[in-house]
């Protein structure tokens, strides 16, 4: 009975989210053409059809899984698509990014269904930890391979193979979360034992700090060589957070913060691209027509939106370069105002809360750490990009999950979502078995 109620609630939330998405699409179209668009029917069919496909897959493959993650992801994905359509229309670009984003959303749902179909027990992946770990590091460093890596907008985080370009780091983050969770389950007792002291900080045997230093080194390589501050912070934050959860020792948080702070200061002192990012963050008004242009225009966008926003289709978000990717949150803040931007933040908080609830419910250590890691990835990535747009942190090149344009990000995040739902379903089965 509980299974039926959960799935019916999920279906109702999907329908509600679809109504919000279609309503936003209508408002955007009316602002441009003053009439209901002729393609509203196909648009409704695509939006609802993709979400129903995910819902049916959950009913068949993970019937006892959490019922809130997919509706929230669908709402964020739909809202992001509406703004991408609106930005294409404002730029008078009939071959813009909206059509591509719709295709990537369909591929993302296929990846979601495929993950549920082929990963029947997440804990079976623990046996392949080293293969998964090496694959994750290889993907993370793949853009550094000559002839394969591509530099776009100053960051070398792309890989081009023939006509196909993608960001391997988006998939590396999931593989590294699997590896870290598996490794820390095995080593958590050794890492929790204090053998040395550094002032008030208790440390384990130094040989067990090797993975911490390796993760630190890889994050610095990403920061320096790929010029990607966001991914560097994301991966190191993932490892330190899992290390803290596995050992329950706050000293690892302190050591991690010190290591990353020292590495960041060194990179800021030695590398021009890091210096430029920090200087733009501290004072974008020093060069408001060039280096600081994006940040300045984003601040103007938030100011123009005020509390209630200008209305969808009535703002000027196209003034911000790359507003479909890095700065889509600024476009939302301008046209939906503080209310709309807060609504997006609440949606992410609900998603993160659902992920942490899944982690708390499971009694299997590997599943608990993996669910925590996947949720940390969503939360930290969301924080990094929103903090960059609002000048809380230096701007980075990560995307806003499910909202920004980007095929790699969308597909990877749907796979991440499927793994969380598989953990939730397995946990429910064990609870029923007891």
Write the pLDDT tens digit of every residue in 66-87.
Answer: 999 999 999 999 999 999 988 8
Instruction: Please give the pLDDT value at position 235.
Output: 80
Which pLDDT band holds residue 284 (cuts at 50, 70, 90)?
confident
- Answer with the residue of higher pLDDT: 85 or 420: 420
Is the pLDDT score of 304 beyond 80? yes
Residue with tokens 């597909």: 411
Q: For residue 374, which of 166, 214, 181 has the smallest C-alpha distance?
A: 181
Residue 93 pLDDT > 70, yes or no? no
Rounded Cα distance, 54 and 111, in Å: 10
CA distance 219 to 161: 25
Q: What is the mean pLDDT of residues 185-190?
A: 75
Question: Strand pairing partners for 161?
Answer: 164
Q: Which residue has the tokens 């969380």?
A: 420
Q: What distance in Å separates the CA atoms of residue 111 and residue 119, rounded to the nearest whole number?
A: 12
240 vs 180: CA distance, rounded Å: 10
pLDDT of res. 325 = 84
Neighbours of 49 (CB within 10 A): 14
Q: Over pLDDT 70: what percentage of the chain?
A: 85
User: Where does residue 306 fall: left (phi above 0), alpha (psi -120 to 50 degrees), or beta otherwise?
Assistant: left
């Amino acid at each position: 009975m509980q299974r039926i109620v959960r799935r019916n609630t999920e279906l109702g939330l999907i329908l509600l989210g679809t109504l919000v998405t279609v309503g936003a699409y209508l408002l955007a179209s009316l602002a441009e053409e003053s009439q209901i668009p002729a393609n509203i029917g196909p648009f409704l069919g695509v939006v609802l059809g993709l979400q129903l496909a995910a819902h049916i897959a959950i009913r068949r493959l993970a019937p006892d899984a959490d019922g809130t993650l997919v509706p929230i992801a669908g709402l964020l994905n739909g809202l992001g698509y509406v703004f991408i359509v609106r930005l294409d229309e404002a730029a008078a670009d009939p071959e813009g990014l909206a059509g591509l984003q719709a295709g990537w959303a369909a591929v993302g749902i296929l990846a979601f269904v495929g993950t549920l179909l082929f990963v029947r027990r997440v804990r079976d992946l623990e046996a392949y930890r080293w293969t998964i770990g090496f694959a994750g590091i290889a993907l993370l460093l793949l853009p550094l391979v000559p002839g394969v890596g591509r530099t776009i907008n100053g960051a070398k985080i792309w890989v081009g193979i023939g006509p196909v370009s993608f960001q391997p780091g988006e998939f590396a983050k999931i593989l590294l979360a699997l590896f870290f969770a598996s490794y820390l389950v095995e080593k958590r007792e050794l890492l929790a034992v204090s053998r040395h002291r550094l002032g008030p900080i208790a440390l384990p045997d130094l040989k067990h700090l090797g993975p911490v230093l390796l993760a630190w080194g890889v994050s610095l390589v990403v920061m320096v060589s790929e010029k990607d501050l966001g991914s560097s912070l994301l991966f190191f934050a993932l490892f330190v957070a899992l290390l803290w959860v596995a050992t329950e020792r706050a000293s690892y948080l302190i050591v991690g913060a010190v290591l990353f702070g020292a590495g960041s200061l060194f990179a800021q002192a030695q590398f021009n691209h890091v210096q430029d990012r920090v200087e733009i963050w501290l004072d974008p008004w020093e060069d408001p027509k060039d280096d600081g242009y994006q940040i300045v225009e984003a601040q103007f966008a938030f100011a123009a939106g005020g509390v209630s926003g200008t209305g969808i289709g009535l703002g000027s978000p196209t003034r911000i370069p790359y507003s479909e990717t890095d700065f889509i949150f600024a476009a939302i803040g301008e046209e939906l105002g503080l209310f709309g931007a807060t609504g997006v933040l609440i949606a992410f908080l609900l998603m993160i809360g659902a992920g942490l609830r899944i982690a708390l419910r499971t009694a299997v250590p590997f599943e608990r750490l993996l669910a925590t890691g996947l949720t940390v990835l969503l939360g930290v990535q969301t924080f990094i990009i929103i903090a960059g747009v609002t000048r809380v942190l230096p701007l980075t090149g990560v995307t806003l999950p499910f909202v920004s344009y980007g095929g790699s990000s969308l597909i990877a995040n749907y796979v991440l979502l499927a793994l969380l739902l598989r953990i939730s379903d397995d946990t429910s089965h064990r609870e029923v078995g007891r």
